[in-house]
Amino acid sequence: MGYFDFQVFPSKPEDFDLNKGVKFESGKAGEFFVQNLTIYEGAISLDTLASTDESKRILLDMFEWGRVQLGLSFDENLIRRWGHISHITFRADVPLLVLQSSPVQKLAEKISTVTDETFGGLKYQPNQLWIGHDPIVRKNGIASFVIVHRGNTRFEENIFWSEAPLPTNLHVKFIREFEKDVKAQSHES
């Protein structure tokens, strides 16, 4: 690889603060767009529009490029752990957020009844699922697992956006399993 062509990169001494992060933005790695690469003391963050597997490959290619072209020390064994945040947009066959919780749906219906008197015709429904860890347990928390209706789409279109602290392949797998479980639950009711 070796050609990243970042459009925004550090240019002043104050841009090289590892506590705030040294940022490179709007680049390209092969056929993939790199939104940003931020280097911190002890961590590196890469934000791409590619899968987490592809992003890992891009980052390893960047390290190898730095080793060859800049004489940097790099050995993949120096990487202690990989963290992931995956974002996907998907269409479901069923209204995932309505069917996933009967008590929440009952509460939404009660709210709709009251607001209908004042605002006329507004139907409330669950519009996001948020699963996270206890923030007190870990100083620097990691992403939650989130499913929300995608912006600028009607609820009945069943188009969702999701974020997860998982590799992309597991994120997609868990979404598919969740949709299957919601369908099964709706058939039991």
Side chain identity, residue 143: A
Dihedral of CA atoms 133, 134, 139, 140 in degrees, nearest 10, equals 30
Alpha carbon distance 54, 84 (integer Å): 12
Alpha carbon distance 135, 26 (integer Å): 32
pLDDT at position 1:
46
Long-range contacts of 151-154 (CB under 8 A, 24+ apart): none
Pairing of strands 22-29, 43-48: unpaired
Tell me if 112 sits within 8 A of 123, measured CB to CB: yes
Quick one: how far is CA 17 from the chain centroid? 26
Rounded to 5 degrees, φ, ψ at 125 are: -150, 160
pLDDT at position 41:
92
Tokens of 138: 């870990």
pTM score of the predicted model: 0.83
DSSP 127: -
Long-range contacts of 112-119 (CB under 8 A, 24+ apart): none
Count of other CB atoms within 10 angstroms of residue 66: 14
Region at 143 (left for phi over 0; alpha for psi -120 to 50; beta for the rest):
beta
> pLDDT of the chain along its 189 residues, tens only?
456 789 999 999 999 999 999 999 999 988 899 999 999 998 999 999 999 999 999 999 989 988 999 999 988 998 999 999 999 999 999 988 886 667 888 889 899 999 888 888 888 998 999 999 998 998 888 899 999 999 999 999 999 999 999 999 999 999 999 999 988 887 765
Collapsed DSSP state (helix, strand, coil) of residue 40: strand
